[in-house]
Amino acid sequence: MTLLSDAQRVAQALSDYEDSTSRREGAVLRQPPSSQLIDRMKLDELARDGGLTGDTLSEFLDTYLDGTIRLRDPRNMGHQTAYTNQAGAFGSFIDGYVNNPMAINEMGPAANAIEQFYLDWMLSKLGWNTVSEDDLLGGGVLTHGGSLANLTALCAARSAAVPDAWGQGNPDDLVVIVPAVSHYSVARAAGIMGLGQNAIIPLPVDEDGRANADLLPELIARQQESGKIVMAVVANACQTALGLFDPLRVMAKACCEAGVWFHVDGAHGAAALLSPELKHLMDGAELADSLIWDAHKMLRTPCLCAAVLVRDHRHLDTAFAQDASYLFHEKDNPGFDFLGRSVECTKASLGLKAFMALAQEGEAGLTAYIENLVELTAEAATIIDAEPDFEIASETEFNIICFRKVSGGETSSLKLRRYLLDRGNYYTTYVEHGGQGWLRLTLMNPKTTRDDILGLLEEIRLVSEITI
């Protein structure tokens, strides 16, 4: 049971997997019943007898890989899950082996330093890592995913709006303004924080699901006049369903004028900050009080790794603290403990895999990866829009596109997706928007081409004919 020989087996299996998925071999997804997979992987026998090494390891790995959804196949256009790179994947493996839960510095000095560096790199994209005129110094923490990151940021917002809420509990009149179309994790965070769903005041959106920023000043004023404390306003960058960005600058201005915390949910789209061509989409994000940014979406990082970034680190330091001491750190220096900024106690070395993914591509490589996907998405929109039997839901701004079949055979997007899944050659997701069902593509794989898009349209035509 040596590390080297088993690692060699794992590397060989993954290398074969890489070749086969890149070549579009077999199905992107098959879903045999779980009971069958449990049998095939011999889980019962392995759990009883152990011995997962050598040939047994290889055999297990082969059956496991056979039961995966093959996100590395260019015909996967489904979820917003990272197309991880090799170094990022090694980060997961190394952390699994070394196992340094670095929320306190002494439990992983190198990983702790990397997390500081990586956060600083992200903060620099917003200009939040330098002491500015009003004496703010940004801060951050990496968490296991955007949902936890949204919760953390909203806790920071609460500590700013109601400094003694941690001790005294929520006042009755706390509300948060959230675009009517937002990721469910925001509402869930409000629920977990005990605000109650009635405390979520929806900001109307336009027909494409973008926040109607012009209505924001009056909405805030109305809440404040009725005695409410507006704890935060949330914006989407980009919004999950159609991938469109809310008008951040206009929203930031309204929040600033009303003295309200502005939170940007940039889980997916904050990556636009890296690109000179695309960063206009994030214009105004630098005026926010907090922003979340998932590395495991557009930054090639294995699940999970999300950053919570705040413009003034003190609010994050007091997010989970009774004693709002509001001390100014010189800098997140050697010995910095992230424990106070995080829901989690034991926390994986998330910065390691995120940094290794970045370090393999370099910032320029990562930027080119993002720009190419956005370009391919725009091209896909043009192609689909030109087909008389298809329609697109809206313009595209990033790497998400929704469309549906409008004529010829079956046109229900939900049914078509089911048929596509049954055949397993392409993977898409499904959303409802504007009273319609849409097929939704997120282009994450740099190997996906124009021909894959054309192939998908042909596949949809095929299933829509043979299934009626």
Interface residues toward ligand PLP, by CB under 6 A: 80, 145-147, 183, 185, 236, 240, 265, 267-268, 294, 304, 306
Instruction: Work out how close the CB of 237 gets to ligand PLP at its nearest, in angstroms, rounded to a whole number.
Output: 8
Of 147 and 159, which has the nearer Cβ to ligand PLP? Answer: 147
Distance CA 233, CA 390 (A): 36
In DSSP notation, 66-108 reads HTS--TTSTTB--SS-----HHHHHHHHHHHHH---TTSGGG-
Distance CA 155, CA 133 (A): 26
Q: Which two tokens stand for residue 42?
A: 């011999």
Of 294 and 397, which has the nearer Cβ to ligand PLP? Answer: 294
End-to-end CA distance of the chain: 55
Instruction: Work out how close the CB of 403 gets to ligand PLP at its nearest, in angstroms, rounded to a whole number.
Output: 19
Of 354 and 457, which has the nearer Cβ to ligand PLP? Answer: 354
- Name 284's Cβ contacts closer than 8 Å, sequence gap at least 6: 247, 248, 249, 250, 251, 252, 253
Distance CA 297, CA 258 (A): 33
Q: CB burial class (10 A; 0-12, 13-18, 19+) of residue 330?
A: exposed
Instruction: Work out how close the CB of 82 gets to ligand PLP at its nearest, in angstroms, rounded to a whole number.
Output: 10
Of 75 and 297, which has the nearer Cβ to ligand PLP? Answer: 297
Instruction: Work out how close the CB of 185 gets to ligand PLP at its nearest, in angstroms, rounded to a whole number.
Output: 5
Of 76 and 464, which has the nearer Cβ to ligand PLP? Answer: 76
Nearest to 195 by CA among 213, 212, 209, 174: 174
Strands (E), 276-322: 290-294, 306-310
Of 263 and 268, which has the nearer Cβ to ligand PLP? Answer: 268
Of 136 and 306, which has the nearer Cβ to ligand PLP? Answer: 306
Instruction: Work out how close the CB of 433 gets to ligand PLP at its nearest, in angstroms, rounded to a whole number.
Output: 15
Instruction: Work out how close the CB of 272 gets to ligand PLP at its nearest, in angstroms, rounded to a whole number.
Output: 13
Contact 279, 248 (CB under 8 A): no
Of 147 and 318, which has the nearer Cβ to ligand PLP? Answer: 147
Between CA 262 and CA 204, with CA 240 as vertex, the angle to 5 degrees is 55
Classify strands 390-392 and 306-310 as parallel, antiparallel or unpaired.
Answer: unpaired
Instruction: Work out how close the CB of 35 gets to ligand PLP at its nearest, in angstroms, rounded to a whole number.
Output: 28
Instruction: Work out how close the CB of 178 gets to ligand PLP at its nearest, in angstroms, rounded to a whole number.
Output: 11
Of 255 and 306, which has the nearer Cβ to ligand PLP? Answer: 306
Of 235 and 358, which has the nearer Cβ to ligand PLP? Answer: 235
Nearest to 13 by CA among 25, 21, 2: 21
Instruction: Work out how close the CB of 153 gets to ligand PLP at its nearest, in angstroms, rounded to a whole number.
Output: 11
Exposure class string for 411-421: b at 16+ Cβ within 10 A, else e: bebeebbebbb
Place of tokens 């953390």: 152
Of 216 and 267, which has the nearer Cβ to ligand PLP? Answer: 267
Q: Dihedrals φ, ψ of 404, to 5°? A: -150, 165
Q: Is 233 helix (H, G, I), strand (E, B) or coil?
A: strand
Contact 144, 348 (CB under 8 A): yes
Instruction: Work out how close the CB of 235 gets to ligand PLP at its nearest, in angstroms, rounded to a whole number.
Output: 10
Length of the chain: 468
Instruction: Work out how close the CB of 418 gets to ligand PLP at its nearest, in angstroms, rounded to a whole number.
Output: 24
Point out the residue whose Cβ comes nearest to ligand PLP. Answer: 146
Distance CA 110, CA 94 (A): 13
Peptide bond into 273 cis (omega under 30): no
Nearest to 351 by CA among 306, 310, 309, 312: 306
Of 242 and 453, which has the nearer Cβ to ligand PLP? Answer: 242
Instruction: Work out how close the CB of 193 gets to ligand PLP at its nearest, in angstroms, rounded to a whole number.
Output: 16
Amino acid at site 234: V
